[in-house]
Amino acid sequence: MELNNNIVKALKTDFPIFKHNLGLVYLDNAATSQRPKQVIDAVSNFTERDNSNVGRGVYSLAERAMKKYEGARKVISNFIGANQEEIIFTKNTTESINLLSYTLQSIIPRNKNEILLTEMEHHSNLVPWQQMAKRNGMQLKVVKIKEDFTLDLEDAKKKLNDKTAIFAFTYVSNVLGTINPLSEIVKLAKSKGVITVIDAAQAIQHLPIDVKNIGCDFLAFSGHKMLGPNGIGVLYGRKELLEKLEPFNFGGGMIETVDWQSSTWKSSPEKFEAGTQNIAGAVGLASSVDYMKKIGIENIRNWEDQILKYALKRLKEVPGIKIYNPGADSSISLVSFTLPGIHPHDVAELLNEKKIAIRAGHMCAMPLMSTIKEKGGVCRASLSFYNTFEDIDALVDSLKEIKEKFK
């Protein structure tokens, strides 16, 4: 389905949030995306008709729930080019990365004591590794960004060495929108025997992902950023690595045998899914994937590229605006900016009076704010395929009014 402004306006009617909030201009999709009725209905229908626990009962209702849950795992694995047993359901990207920060140490050679990150990282892909380094006497190193807001690959090459154990990096910056060259980074890391962990939270709704082609070891994302429910996330891991890792949580569902002194675990993914999981959330996530596939990821990407270019062009009309974005060819549909002399929170509050929703603040990326010299934070307009040219016009016209007001 090739998208244009009129088709997007029609698609917007799939999203009940806009019916119940007339005039809403929603530009905070990097924080959480809105949900189409198809996803809402999938969760509701499961709850009303199939709700039961999985992996326990042998009665029909439990078997239907299990079929839906494992069916969701299959949908997700196909979506990112993985095997079904390589998909672990978690709460979100944050939990996925924490899981790895507590379990990877057991498979890291003793001579490798460095963890490499980038200046672009969200706190959720920084703090877990920071704490892992503290627990295990490791060093944290950081790859710099260049003045054009892209990653400095030469710096990455210098800092990747025989001591590097893990390279954890974002596919897309949640502040800058920058798309990092995934395959090239993974290839560099592999040449040094480094484990790669990709934070794909900001990429999953916007870009096609095939983990086998990328060649990464682990990749994490959240459902709520890709039209899905809250409280459901995914961790992909290469099967041979998952089998080597010890569990993160312990309890029902992941046990093979138990006696008073010892226990054994099921194979992956079950051994990482202790306790009752968010079954309805997994069903909803599968529905969101089906919805996006029906439109087409390439069609989504093409439309978002159009509205990003339009946004960057129009935002430059705002007097004095500072834009933090590498340009449409290197970015998803996300733009951060500041209006010098006006605090980002004030800008966001004034836009809210016009029913325009943006994010303002540090974006959970305080070190990056120091790098770009915006310690007070930035404003961020993050777009989805259901945004229109009129949404951009409303934002820019309102920013001009705000600038005039603060003269």
- Mean pLDDT per block of 10 residues along the chain (407 residues) reads 95 98 98 98 97 91 96 98 98 98 96 97 98 98 98 98 98 98 97 97 97 98 98 98 95 94 95 96 98 97 98 97 97 97 97 98 98 96 98 98 91
- What is the model's pTM? 0.97
Tell me 322's DSSP state: E
Q: Active-site residue 379, yes or no?
A: no
* Residue percentage of the chain with pLDDT more than 70: 100
Choice among 25, 292, 364, 396 that is catalytic: 364
| Strand 164-170 relative to strand 218-222, pairing | unpaired
The token duo for 5 is 């402004």
| Separation of alpha carbons 342 and 310, rounded Å | 24
* Rounded Cα–Cα distance for residues 77 and 72 (Å): 9
Count of beta carbons in the 10 Å neighbourhood of residue 154: 11
Q: What domains sit in the chain, N to C, each tagged with a CATH number?
A: 5-30+296-405 (3.90.1150.10), 41-293 (3.40.640.10)
The residues, any chain, with a CB within 8 Å of residue 236's CB and separated by 6 or more, are: 80, 82, 86, 87, 88, 211, 218, 219, 220
Q: Which two tokens stand for residue 278?
A: 């968010």
| Beta-strand relationship, 378-382 and 359-361 | antiparallel
Phi/psi-derived region of residue 200, left when phi > 0, alpha when psi is between -120 and 50, beta in every other case = alpha
Q: Are 95 and 221 in contact (CB under 8 A)?
A: no
Tell which residue, 378, 381, 29, 19, has the closest CA to residue 202: 29
**Structural tokens at position 35:** 């949900």
Amino acid letter, 198: I
Question: Pick from 245, 341, 270, 332: which is nearest to 297 by CA?
Answer: 332
Both tokens assigned to 371: 């790098």
Residues 320, 301: Cα–Cα separation, whole Å: 30
Instruction: State the pLDDT at residue 1.
Output: 80
Per-residue model confidence (pLDDT) at position 55: 84
- Judge whether 116 and 192 are in contact, CB under 8 Å: no
Q: What is d(CA 398, CA 134) in angstroms, rounded to the nearest whole number?
A: 46
Residue 19: the pLDDT is 97
DSSP letter for 274, please: -
CA distance 325 to 334: 8
Structure tokens at 6: 């009129």
pLDDT of residue 406: 87
Distance separating alpha carbons of residues 11 and 133, to the nearest angstrom: 46
Closest listed residue to residue 121, CA positions, set 192, 172, 76: 172
Alpha carbon of 194 to those of 97, 288, 395: distances in Å?
16, 33, 43
pLDDT at 315: 98
How are strands ordered across the β-sheet holding 164-170?
87-90, 233-237, 218-222, 195-199, 164-170, 114-118, 139-143
**Per-residue confidence (pLDDT) for residue 166, from 0 to 100:** 98
Structure tokens at 352: 């809210």
Q: Cα(211)–Cα(203) distance, rounded to whole angstroms?
A: 13
